[in-house]
Chains A and B, each alone.
Chain A
C-alpha cells in the first residue's frame, strides 16, 4: 500500500488572479490621487472630492435599483428615469406641505421633514413600480428588444403624466434651513447637504450589501440571479420575488430622485431621463447587475466629473464617456460582471 493517499487538493488561485480581482477597488483612490495631482490645491481638492463622492453616491442610489432589477429579472428598465422624476416631484410636494418644518432652524426637525418626504416618495414610486411591472413589463419577460421599446413607452407616458399633474414648468425646490450653506474645514468649504448625501448613500450601500449577503431574501435573490428555475423548483415563488425586487428598485429610484432634486434645487419632468445617461454609464462600468461594481462605478463617475469640471469644464461629460470606453476596453463586461450578463 502506498502511503500517498488521495487528498483533495485545493489550488490557490494564482496571485495575479487575486490581485486582478482587487484592482477595481484601487481605482477610486487612484483617481482621487490623480485628481489631487491635477488640481494641486489641497483645500480645493477636498471640496471637489466631497462633492464628487456626494454626486457619485446619489447616482449610486439611482443606479442600484436599475442594476438589481437587471441582475435578478434580466429586465432593463429604460423607464427608470421616470421613477426618478416622480420621486422628486412627490418629495417636492411633501416638503411643500411641511413648509413649517423645513423653515425651522433646528437640524433634527429639518431632517425629519426630509425623511418624511423620502418615505412618501419611496412609497409612491414603489407603488408605481408595482403597476409598471404588472402592466408594462410582465408581458415581455425574456424579450430584450420589446422590453426596451415598452419601457421607453412607459417613460413617455409617465413624463407626460407628470406634466398633467404638476404642470410643464420647472419647479424650484429649496433645501431645508439647516441643510443650506456649507461648513468650513481648514480652507475647504463643504456643503452640508453633500455630507448628508454621502451619509445616506454609504448607509444604503452597506444595508444593501448586508441584505444581499446575509439575509434569506438576499440569498434567494442571489440564487434567483444564478438559476431562477431552480429556485422556483425549490418551492419559492420567484415571480413574487421579482415583483418585490422591482418595487424595491423603483423605490430606490424615488429616493435618488428626492436626493438629486434637493441637490439641484430645480426639478423638471425630464430630470430623470437626463440623469439616466450617467446612471447607464455607471451600471455599464460596474457590470450590469452587480451592486459592488455599481458602487465603484458611481464613485468613479462622480469624482471624475467633478475634477474635470474644475480642470477642463468643456470635457466634463465627454470624460465620463471616455472612462466608460476605457473600462470596457479593459473589461468588456464591466468591472464586476454578473454571471447571467453575457
Chain B
C-alpha cells in the first residue's frame, strides 16, 4: 500500500524514513501539536514550498536544466488566483478557474521558453531565463492598474476559509476548528496530492528518460528519444506545479505581491533548498524546504540572542547579527555544493547502501 502511494520510491534509509515520517506527521497534526498563529503560518509555508521546491527539483535534479524563471511561474499562479478572487469575488469557483488560468498561462509560457531556448547550452538557458524572469518582475510592477504594482493585491477569500468561520462549536483537543484550520488542511491536502503526483511522474518511464537526458543527452538522442521534447515537457510540467503552488500561497496569504512571489530572493531560497535537501530526489525537497523554512523562521531569533551575548566582541557580533543570516546561508550553500553535492538525502542514502 505504502509502496504504491510512494510510487515504489521508498526512502531506502532508516533515518531518512524516520525524518520524513516525522515531517509528515508534524505537518498533518500541525494545528493540534503547535497551537498559535506563527507555527501554523510556518507549517503552511513549508507545505507550499515543498511543492515548489519539488517542482524545481524535477527540472534541476532530474532533468539537469538550470532555470531562474521558476519564481515567474510561481508568481503567475499566485496572480492568477489573486486576480480571480479580487475581480470575481470570494468564491470557490473563482479560486478554481483562477488557478486553472494561472496554470494554463504558466504552461503556455513554459512551452514557448522551452521550445525557444532548450536547444542551447545549460549556461545559455540559465542566463536567458534570468533575463526573462527579471523582465517579468518589472512588467508586473509596471502594470500597476492590473497587479497593484509593488503594493500587490489584497483580496478576500471564501468565508469558509477565514478565522470567522466555525465548523464545530466545541473545541477538538483544545483547538477551535475555524476557517483558518480548514484553510490549512486545504493547503496541506493539495500539497500532499501534488507532491505524490510529482513522485509518480519522476518514477515513471518518463521520469527515467529525464534522468537519461540529464546524464547523457547525446546518448539519449542516439537511442531515439527526442531530447528537446522531453526537456520541454519537463519544463511545462514543473511550471504547472509551480503555478499551483503559487495559487496555494495566494489563497493562504490573502495577499499577492512581487516580494512574496517574484523576487530574486525566493529564487535563491529555492535553489538553496534543493541543494541542501539533495538534487534529484523528491524527498530532498521535503527535507530541504523544512530545514530551510524552520531556520528562516527561528534561527534569526537565535542569532539575535547570540548577538547580544557577544556584543562585547565588535566584529563577531556584527557577523552573527540576525540580518546576517543570509551570509551564513551563502557559506553553507557553497560548502554543501562542495562537500555534500548529493545533499542531506543523497548523503543518508549513500551512507546506508
Contact = CB atoms under 8 A, between A and B. Distances in A.
A273 interface: yes
A47 to B, nearest CB: 24
B75 interface: no
B135 A321 contact: yes
Interface string B311-334: 000000011000110110111011
Contacts of A164: 318-319, 324, 327
A341 B121 contact: yes
Contacts of A168: 323
B127 A280 contact: yes
Interface string B103-134: 00000000000001101111110111011101
Interface residues of B, number: 40
A314 B128 CA distance: 21
Contact of A324 (B119, B131, B318, B334): B131
A71 B132 CA distance: 23
B338 interface: yes
Given A136-B334, A280-B131, A148 B126 contact: yes
A144 B341 contact: no
B32 to A, nearest CB: 37
A276 B131 CA distance: 9
Given A152-B268, A160-B327, A164-B318, A145 B135 contact: no
A314 B139 CA distance: 8
Contacts of B331: 153, 157
Interface string B176-198: 00000000000000000000000
Contact of B333 (A156, A281, A314): A156
Given A139-B338, A161-B327, A164-B324, A149 B124 contact: no
The range of chain A's interface size is 35 or more
A179 to B, nearest CB: 30
B298 to A, nearest CB: 20
28 contacts: A144-B66, A144-B121, A144-B122, A144-B123, A145-B66, A148-B66, A148-B122, A149-B275, A149-B337, A150-B338, A156-B329, A156-B330, A163-B324, A163-B327, A164-B318, A164-B327, A273-B264, A277-B130, A277-B134, A280-B127, A280-B131, A284-B127, A288-B123, A317-B134, A320-B135, A328-B120, A333-B120, A341-B121
Given A144-B123, A281-B131, 9 more contacts: A78-B126, A154-B334, A160-B324, A164-B324, A280-B131, A283-B127, A318-B138, A329-B116, A332-B120
Interface of B: 60, 64, 66, 116-117, 119-124, 126-128, 130-132, 134-135, 138-139, 142, 264, 268, 271, 275, 318-319, 323-324, 326-327, 329-331, 333-334, 337-338, 341
